[in-house]
């Protein structure tokens, strides 16, 4: 059977996340939320202690460590596969020691010069995202000649640099960085051309969940567009990209995307079954 898309549930241990407004900021609440996402069917939990919403200011290293490490320890002890959303090598190191097995770096190793060396020396999986700068400057850098070609080209260069440093290619996962230095239409173009991303030869992670471009779409249709009302649109994106065969989706509301993956998997399986006259289905 075709491997199914994995669902990565988000646990934001922050007071200022765009998606949930700090709902899971307290550690006990964050841990309980992580357990809830696991019960809903999350394959991976992605734990982050620093908001990357547009305009967000960076937190101190000490604060990020204090937010993230206890939650990683508790949820890893509960048997969860843990990813940690951080741009700092020191946080990544502490999180790995606490039980994480994936580092999800939205800067692709550009924010911290020590990150790539950590990846070289480690045995964890590393998510390389397309990135053009921190939250306070990225909105001014959303200028592209051809967003698909430019993003793929910049990712290709970043992947080449990380591999040249000594990281095995099979440890790397690619994320197009939806919403990071990208206007609404840019995100749709990237989703419409996932084949260009998969052609890079690495697993692809898509993080469209509750993002502004979905809110803009819903608002244009006269629907409620606040982040918490974007989950059905998120699940629709999950179904589409899962049908395309991406490795994973990063989402805030897990149950809807788990169902969406099931639908996509059933469709992909049916496409490969012989038809009644003995011919293979359309690949």
Question: Would you name the residues annotated as active-site residues?
Answer: 211, 250
104: left (phi over 0), alpha (psi -120 to 50) or beta: beta
Taking the C-alpha atoms of residue 168 and residue 92, their distance in angstroms, rounded to an integer, is 18
CB 241 within 8 A of CB 228: no
Count, residues in the chain: 283
Cβ–Cβ contacts within 10 Å for residue 153, how many?
13
Q: What are phi and psi of 219, to 5 degrees?
A: -65, -40
What secondary structure letter does DSSP report for 264?
Answer: H
| 70-74: long-range pairs with CB below 8 Å, 24+ | 70/27, 71/11, 71/13, 71/27, 71/30, 71/31, 71/34, 71/47, 72/47, 72/98, 72/99, 72/100, 73/98, 73/99, 74/31, 74/34
Q: Are 8 and 205 in contact (CB under 8 A)?
A: yes
CA pair distance 214, 278, nearest whole angstrom: 42
């Amino acid at each position: 059977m075709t491997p199914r898309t994995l669902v990565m549930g988000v646990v934001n241990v922050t007071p200022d996340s765009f998606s949930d407004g700090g709902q899971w900021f307290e550690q006990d609440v964050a841990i309980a939320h992580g357990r809830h996402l696991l019960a809903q069917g999350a394959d991976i939990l992605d734990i982050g202690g620093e908001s990357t919403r547009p305009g967000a200011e960076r937190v101190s290293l000490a604060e990020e460590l204090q937010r993230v490490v206890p939650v990683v320890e508790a949820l890893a002890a509960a048997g969860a596969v843990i990813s940690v959303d951080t741009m700092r090598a020191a946080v990544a190191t502490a999180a790995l020691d606490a039980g994480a097995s994936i580092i999800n770096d939205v800067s692709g190793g550009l924010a911290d010069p020590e990150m790539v060396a950590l990846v070289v020396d480690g045995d964890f999986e590393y998510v390389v995202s397309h990135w053009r700068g921190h939250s306070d400057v990225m909105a001014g850098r959303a200028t592209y000649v051809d967003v698909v070609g430019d993003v793929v080209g910049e990712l290709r260069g970043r992947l080449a640099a990380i591999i040249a440093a000594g990281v095995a290619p099979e440890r790397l996962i690619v994320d197009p960085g939806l919403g990071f230095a990208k206007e609404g239409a840019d995100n749709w173009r990237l989703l419409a051309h996932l084949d260009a991303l998969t052609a890079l030869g690495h697993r692809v992670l898509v993080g469209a969940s509750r993002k502004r471009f979905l809110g803009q779409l819903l608002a244009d249709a006269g629907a409620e567009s606040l982040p918490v009302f974007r989950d059905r649109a998120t699940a629709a994106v999950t179904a589409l990209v899962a049908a395309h065969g991406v490795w994973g989706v990063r989402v805030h509301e897990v149950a809807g995307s788990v169902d969406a993956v099931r639908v996509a998997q059933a469709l992909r399986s049916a496409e490969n079954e012989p038809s009644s006259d003995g011919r293979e289905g359309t690949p």
